Amino acid sequence: MNVLIKRIRAGIPGFDNLIASGIPEKDLVLLSGTCGAGKTVFGLGFICSAADKEHGIYVSFEEEIARIKSTAEAFGWDVDRLEKTNKVKFLKYNPYQLEDIIEVIENNIREIGATRVVIDSISAIGVYVKDVTELRRMILQVSEMLRKNNCTSILISETIAGKKSLSRFGVEEFVADGVILLHNMLIGGEYRRGLSVWKMRSTDHSRKIHPYKINSDGFTVYPEDTISFNPTA
């Protein structure tokens, strides 16, 4: 059923194998995981790996841009060059000044002709939004703006350690077109990292938990391997 849909490569080694060679174009994908799962590294790989061909915007709500860029550099991305050539743009926004944020992101998208966007994180916004109704409506509006501008996007979402939810506020996953879940599983005395694709619109995706690593090569998924895990609680 994947024939008619244009897809883009995520730029994360091993990951595209899990989802029929790519994320459907213009889709909004939720990337959920606890703190320390490597969500920012995944987001940077999504933006930077393809930046020479597909321009990208990285929107940060809490982390300073200098630090995000230094993280990107640690993984080998030459972000200075990408920024100077208007291929990548990093935006920092205060999560409690949201009035005109959609307009600002849209202007930046148009300025560099971006087709990839990462929003890091929707949870940081969520704690400032007054209720889930408001948050759900807001994500819908962001999503429409991004699609209208032909952007494929990653929405980063924090989950709380020890809770089995897909998102912090329980509405984010329902307005996204895809959901990628990063697991941190205590097996024996060791925490093991696994990635699963919970949802990907119109895509025959893997339904297994695959191990992943974060090292000097960035975020790498092992599509051939599975982590067997039977949670008892």
- Positions in 26-55 near a copy of itself (CB under 8 A): 34-36
56 vs 211, which CB is nearer to a copy of itself?
A: 211
> Of residues 52, 64, 80, 100, which one binds a copy of itself by CB under 8 A?
64
Q: Can you name the residues that pair with 196 across neighbouring β-strands?
A: 181
Shortest distance in whole angstroms from residue 187 CB to a copy of itself: 7
6 binds a copy of itself (CB under 8 A): no
Q: Using the rule CB under 8 A, is 224 a contact of a copy of itself? A: no
- Asked if residue 158 binds a copy of itself (CB under 8 A), the reply is yes
**Closer of 89 and 183 to a copy of itself (Cβ):** 183
Give the number of residues in contact with a copy of itself, rule: CB under 8 A. Answer: 74
- Distance of closest approach, residue 118 Cβ to a copy of itself, in angstroms: 16
Binding of a copy of itself at residue 82 (CB under 8 A)? Answer: no
Alpha-carbon torsion (197, 198, 203, 205), positive or negative: positive
State the Cα torsion 55-61-64-69 to the nearest 10°. Answer: -20
Q: What residues contact residue 113 under an 8 Å CB cut-off, 6+ apart?
A: 55
Q: Which stretch binds a copy of itself (CB under 8 A): 47-55, 82-90, 98-106, 130-138?
A: 130-138
3-state secondary structure of 28: strand
175 makes contact with a copy of itself (CB under 8 A): yes
Q: How far is the CB of 229 from a copy of itself (least distance, A)?
A: 5
Closest residue by Cα to residue 31 from 143, 181, 176, 165: 181
Q: Report the residue from 25, 199, 220, 222 that binds a copy of itself according to the rule CB under 8 A.
A: 199
The bridge status of strand 218-221 relative to strand 55-60 is: unpaired
Residue 99 or residue 232: which is nearer to a copy of itself going by CB? 232
- In the complex, least distance from residue 124 CB atom to a copy of itself, rounded to whole angstroms: 7
Place of tokens 């984010």: 172
Q: How far is the CB of 132 from a copy of itself (least distance, A)?
A: 6
CB neighbours of 168 closer than 8 A, spacing ≥ 6?
123, 126, 157, 158, 159, 160
Q: Cis peptide before 60, with omega less than 30 degrees from 0?
A: no
Instruction: For residue 21, state whether it binds a copy of itself (rule: CB under 8 A).
Output: no
What single-letter DSSP state applies at residue 221? E
Going through 79-165 in order, the beta strands assigned E by DSSP cover 88-92, 114-120, 152-158
